[in-house]
Structure 1
Amino acid sequence: MSEVPDEAEVRAATQRAVDATATAYTADADIDVEDTLRREMAQAGMALDDDAWVREVAQAVRSGHPISFAEVGGDAPADVEPTTPGSLGGDNGGA
């Protein structure tokens, strides 16, 4: 039986994947942002089956909007509200 991932771990891994995708896009605006995001999430051990979530996050990356999966009182400063597009859904803990 597999372990259920801790929500904070899922959020942190998701944040790293999104940040890596945004960095890659900044370096090369011709990349496929959705594909890069899926690859980064897969490397973190999380499968994505929510196409709408991927499109929403990819659009935010392309738009240059900050994306934060940190919980207030956790990794984010107290005055920063998390901006979590959609639901992670699927096999990645559903954070």
Structure 2
Amino acid sequence: MSQQQQTQPQGLESFDENTRRELQQFLEQEQTKARIQTQIHEFTDTCWDLCIKGQPQSRFSRGEQACLANCTDRFLDASLFIVKSLEERKGHM
């Protein structure tokens, strides 16, 4: 069995090659969206726990706003750094 057949979800055998490729690309895009959503939820949970003390009010204080903005910025910076590092490693292989 080829590598491509092993990685395809079951049931795709009945489709032609172009349709299988399109479906595979769609599935990969949806998985990417799901990973991004998961990261957003993790950022939210982590930054909320770090920055919001006690019961939230109707508005965030200046300190809470600054903390939340800084926290999410650092997570995004770290994520971009990791992606760039992985791309560089992949390019050197």
Q: TM-score scaled by structure 2?
A: 0.34
Higher relative contact order, structure no. (Cα contacts within 8 Å, ≥ 6 residues apart): 1
**Higher helix proportion (structure 1 or 2):** 2
